[in-house]
Amino acid sequence: MKQMILVFLGGGLGSMLRFLISKTYNQQYINFYLGTFLANSIGCLIIGILLGLSAKHNYLSQNQTLLLATGFCGGFTTFSSFAFENYSFLKAGELFNFSLYTLSSIIIGVIAVAIGLWISKLI
């Protein structure tokens, strides 16, 4: 039960922060969902750092990993919004924006995880 509460709390905090970022940045950039892109990219960096630290000599406890990686990062990042936004581009016939958003999100996400893992080795 304690683990479920930790995931719940972390997820709630992550979701609230994502909402604020999306609300702020998605409205400013009509042809690119910058808020979702930022949340997903930052979340990838954070999870790389957290899981790297967790794997490195058990730096984080299982409960801390559940709170921060599973809960916070799970709530902060959003595949469903990403998929819906891509669908919106396709529906509007914006193939360039669809391609740019999809490829940049995936490539930057993987690079951010790798950078996070690298940073965790330095700590």
77 is in an annotated binding site: yes
Cβ 40 vs Cβ 1: under 8 Å:
no
Q: What residues have CB less than 8 Å from 60, skipping those under 6 apart?
A: 50, 53, 54, 68
Q: Is 74 annotated as a binding residue?
A: yes
Separation of alpha carbons 11 and 24, rounded Å: 20
> Which residues belong to the annotated binding site?
74, 77
> Which residues belong to the annotated binding site for Na(+)?
74, 77
